[in-house]
Amino acid sequence: MTETLLTVSNLKKYFPIRKGVLRRTVGYVKAVDDVNFTVHKGETLGIVGESGCGKSTTGRSILRLIEPTSGDVLFQDKNLTKLSKSSLRHLRQKMQIVFQDPYASLNPRYKVGKILERPMQIHGLYTPAERSKRVRTLLERCGLDPSAANKYPHEFSGGQRQRIGIARALTLNPSLIVLDEPVSALDVSVQSQIINLLEDLQQEFGLTYLFIAHDLSVVRHISDRIAVMYLGQMAELAESLELFDNPLHPYTQALLSAIPVPDPEVKRERILLRGDLPSPANPPSGCPFHTRCKDAMDVCKAKKPVWKEVKPGHHVACHLYS
Amino acid sequence: MASYIIRRLIGAVVVLFGISIITFIIAYAAPGDPARLIVGAKAPQSVVDAVRHNLGLDQPLPIQYIHYVGRLLQGNLGFSYHNNLPVTELLGQRLGNTVQLALGGWIVELILGIPLGIFGALYHRRIADYILSFLSLVGISMPVFVFGMWLIQNVAHGLGILPLGGAGGISHLILPSITLGVTGMAFYQRLMKSSMVEVMGQDYIRTARAFGVPPRRVITHHAMRNGLLPAVTYAGMDIAQLFGGVVLTETVFNYPGIGQLAWQSIENLDFPVIMATVLLAAVFVVVANFVVDIVYSVIDPRISLS
Amino acid sequence: MNNVALEPSLSPGAGSVTQTKRKFELLKFVKRYPSVVIGGLIVLVMVIIALFAPVIAHYDPLKPMPDGLTQLGAPRPPSHEYILGTDTQGRDVFSRVLFGARVSLEVGFFAGLISLFIGALLGVISGYFGGWVDMVIMRITDMVLAFPFLLFVVALVAALSPSVHNVFIAIGVFGWAQMARIIRSQVLSVKELEYVQAAKSLGASAWNIIFVEVLPNVVTPVIIYLALAIGQNIMLEAALSFLGFGVQPPNPSWGNMIQEGMGYYQLAPWLIYAPGISLLVATIGFNLLGDGLRDWLDPKVGK
């Protein structure tokens, strides 16, 4: 039986839209709208979706970098959304984040050594000598020369900076790391190096990853399970192989058909998505995907589909399967 | 649009309230007993107490403030014991003079500053621009009263062509207006120049040039509208600055306006007048800002009003 | 071994190369940012004058000289003995100008510090915490910016009673609004950067983030603004003293010297020109320095 590390239930993040004399709230951008999933210990859960679908907001709301509007996040049997600020700060040691932009995520004014020691200083871990030793070990473990500690972030390339960002996330010995599009800003050749590094580190330190990406092909390789998001809601969640072999949601099918196949002999029908992504401030009624769905039925416009497990471990929100 | 205007109006009223509170507190904290000032130093204490009671000065501060605002709303600005006149009457005598002077200064600022700025942009990085930039720096750093004295000595007295001071007719306005406007003129020159230089470097201007639109027309038809935006913003905010200058200019030129009145009343600790002049100045500033916001939204359609 | 032998003979040569390189770079800097250099020099001279006024001045700025007035009782024009002449009471104008620099700098600097402190505190709180706190602080800031500044400062000084301290307190207390706005906008842009989010995710407290991640990135605009603000404050102090609400006679300030000389502009124009030109040069210095620093340190804002 796999152990559950993180349970997200009914997570919502609404950003208010204000108008008028009194700046009254006239509506909401439902960036994350009633999202449910669990993450098992030691696995990698990929979250995929177009930009603006709320996947990053989901990741950041879980860590409470953005305060969620409602919902519960159970992490190591503690409800993060109910924790006080100080106990949350304490628990942050166990959950870390790696950001998309390796240029913006490191303060240009400090040397790498200082950037990496800072988390340990904040939490009062180790002696100064142990800290600097640990920094060097971690740099080396992440594929950088220990002398990197004496340099400034601007002296490194994007890939190297992302390694520094990963080393920083590791300084506190976390059990969960949210990877917020960690390779999207990198060259393709560097992407696979970073993904390999992440896999090695996962094995070595027993890490659990929540891997956010906008591209299925990136997460396919590293993820045990994959969740697909559309307009702030979960469309489908299944084990990686199952999702690729047997996609149920028409949106997932469309995304999969867009992945190029290296074999020119294989003829595949490309499912083109009609129209544009609707605005999350004014999402379509019923199923949010019905405006672009090839299988849309009348019920899709009227009723929101229920998120349910149609096969063991395979969840989908679609009227085709209810 | 309506909601935008209403919000700005509420904001303006809040600002005026804040200013009235602060002036009131300053007046209250000031040394000297107003009742004693009224009856004179030799009057017995019982008379002072009676006057204080009559004026409501023995009541708690918030009550006094409420009474003060109540009187303000009825258009009663109080009574100047020093001048033995109601404050409204005192202001009325001088308001016209100050409005003329302020307008004069404003015209000098804008009428000279903006074209000089455009001129500087046209001759960007050439001798004329460098000379103009240096003069602007001097203008911006020039204390109003030093420049005023210099004009009095060299133009009014030295050349003997314009009056040394006082009010009455256009000739009395020329030197004070120049004095008042010179800092602002330098400011607008710089602002306009940098804004024009920036606009001229933009793609749509280059496109217009590439299409063969004559240079003069590029400036008047294409660049000016956008280049003017920052100047318009400041034209309103500037009134606050201008009023500071008015006090100094009127003092130097012995010009009978609100600024001179404010100065004299501060010297005499004549608080009803001080509070009235400060409030009046604040009203000018707030109204000007309000108008500028509306004008701005007309010039630049990108500013959303909702 | 070879390396060790070579090293001593190499290093002097290398040293002189870097020295000429440095000289060259200094020249390039002067050419590129002349306003920083000129403004900086003016400010430096003023600081030296203010610090060493008692050493530089030959005469007591407060004491009428025995031969300070002509037989008719008029001030003496500039001469070898009194470089900038004497004033109506027979005091040495040059010494008074030197001591006036002291007052100007003192007021300019301390008023700047007060407004920096208030502005930084409010700007950081406003920008970092946002929400209703931000709204309240920004409305107050708008209000202060709408004040007829000079009138308020004059009224406050009059209410507190005129003195050097009260002048810089009054200027500082009303002068922070611009600073608060600049710092707030800077904090707003820094706050959204991912390294601030990273610090948050590492468990750093709000004030820890403000001091370690945010404030170091706000220093540049603050320095630029401080230079400009000191120039403004010097001008304001002079205006206050000119109106009679600043430094009180017999203590010299450029403003009250001009005020005293106003009635004698025909007879003794140096009474106005000596302090007036000093004041003008000082404000030019600070304005040049501020503008130059902006071009140099903040290429985004500088035009």
Cα dist from B283 to B106, B181, B290, whole Å: 17, 21, 10
Q: Whole-angstrom Cα distance, residue B220 to residue B233?
A: 20
Strand order from edge to edge, sheet including A44-48? A95-98, A176-180, A208-213, A44-48, A225-230, A233-239, A314-316, A308-311
In a domain, B131, yes or no: yes
Q: Whole-angstrom Cα distance, residue C89 to residue C63?
A: 9
Identity of the amino acid at B78: G
Q: Whole-angstrom Cα distance, residue B182 to residue B143?
A: 10
Q: Whole-angstrom Cα distance, residue A156 to residue A164?
A: 9
What CATH code would you report for C38-63+75-302? 1.10.3720.10
Q: What is the pLDDT of residue B219?
A: 79
Q: What is the pLDDT of residue A146?
A: 92
3-state secondary structure chain B: CHHHHHHHHHHHHHHHHHHHHHHHHHHHHCCCCHHHHHHCCCCCHHHHHHHHHHHCCCCCHHHHHHHHHHHHHCCCCCEECCCCEEHHHHHHHHHHHHHHHHHHHHHHHHHHHHHHHHHHHHCCCCHHHHHHHHHHHHHHHCCHHHHHHHHHHHHHHHHCCCCCCCCCHHHHHHHHHHHHHHHHHHHHHHHHHHHHHHHHCCHHHHHHHHCCCCHHHHHHHHHHHHHCHHHHHHHHHHHHHHHHHHHHHHHHCCCCCHHHHHHHHHHCCCHHHHHHHHHHHHHHHHHHHHHHHHHHHHHCCCCCCC
The DSSP element (H or E) to which C199 belongs, if any, is helix C194-201
Residues of chain B with Cβ-Cβ distance to A19 below 8 Å are 3, 306
Structural domain containing residue B205:
98-268
Which of C 241-300 lie inside 8 A of B, CB atoms? 242-245, 258, 262, 265-266, 269, 272, 276, 279-280, 283-284, 287-288, 291
Q: What is the largest CA-CA distance in chain A?
A: 67
Using CB atoms, which chains have 3+ pairs under 8 A with C?
A, B
In a domain, B76, yes or no: no
Q: How far is CA C28 from the centre of its chain?
A: 26
Report helix, strand and coil shares of chain A as percent, to nearest 5.
Answer: 35, 25, 40
Q: What is the pLDDT of residue C301?
A: 43
In a domain, B6, yes or no: no
Give the pair of three-digit tokens for residue A122: 């904040």
Q: Whole-angstrom Cα distance, residue B77 to residue C182?
A: 37
Is residue C45 a contact partner of residue C281, using CB atoms and an 8 Å limit? no
Q: What is the pLDDT of residue A203?
A: 93
| A99 CB within 8 Å of a chain C CB | yes
Q: Which residues of chain B have pLDDT under 70?
A: 1, 31-32, 236-237, 240, 297, 299-306
Q: Whole-angstrom Cα distance, residue C259 to residue C239?
A: 9
In a domain, B155, yes or no: yes
Give the pair of three-digit tokens for residue B197: 């230089």
Give the pair of three-digit tokens for residue C125: 């709180």
A246 CB-contact burial (10 Å; exposed 0-12 / middle 13-18 / buried 19+): exposed
* One CATH from 2.60.40.1930, 3.40.50.300, 3.90.870.10, 3.40.50.2300 for A4-321: 3.40.50.300
Q: Which residue has the tokens 């793609």?
A: B203
Q: What is the pLDDT of residue C3?
A: 42
Q: Return the bridge partners of A44, or none.
A: A209
The domain locations on chain A are 4-321
Q: What is the DSSP-derived secondary structure letter of residue A92?
A: G
Which of B 144-183 lie inside 8 A of A, CB atoms? none
Tell me which residue in A63, A100, A106 faces C201 most closely, judged by beta carbons.
A63
Angle, alpha carbons C212-A209-A57 (nearest 5°):
65
Angle, alpha carbons B181-B183-B188 (nearest 5°):
90
Is residue A33 a contact partner of residue A12, using CB atoms and an 8 Å limit? yes
Residues of chain C with Cβ-Cβ distance to B27 below 8 Å are 155, 159
| C150 CB within 8 Å of a chain B CB | yes
Rounded mean pLDDT, A223-237: 92
Q: How far is CA C62 from the centre of its chain?
A: 26
Q: What is the pLDDT of residue C109?
A: 94
Q: Whole-angstrom Cα distance, residue A319 to residue A248?
A: 11
Cα dist from A288 to A13, A280, C91, C143, C244, whole Å: 16, 9, 87, 46, 72
Q: Return the bridge partners of C201, or none.
A: none
Is residue C169 a contact partner of residue C106, using CB atoms and an 8 Å limit? no
Is residue C67 a contact partner of residue C88, using CB atoms and an 8 Å limit? no
Strand, helix or coil for residue A41: coil
User: How many angstroms separate the CA of residue B274 from the nearest CA in chain C?
Assistant: 8
In a domain, B29, yes or no: no
Q: Whole-angstrom Cα distance, residue C162 to residue C180?
A: 27
Q: Which residues of chain C have pLDDT under 50?
A: 1-15, 301-303
Give the pair of three-digit tokens for residue A41: 């210990």
Say which CATH number the domain at B180 has: 1.10.3720.10
| B146 CB within 8 Å of a chain C CB | yes
Strand, helix or coil for residue C129: helix
Q: What is the pLDDT of residue C7?
A: 40
Counting the structural domains of chain B, the total is 1
ipTM: 0.83
Q: What is the pLDDT of residue C8?
A: 41
Which of C 194-213 lie inside 8 A of A, CB atoms? 194-195, 197-205, 208, 212-213
The domain locations on chain C are 38-63+75-302
User: How many angstroms separate the CA of residue C250 from the nearest CA in chain A?
Assistant: 50
Mean pLDDT of chain A: 88
| Residue B33 or residue A55, greater confidence | A55
Is residue B275 a contact partner of residue B269, using CB atoms and an 8 Å limit? no
Give the pair of three-digit tokens for residue B180: 């008042």
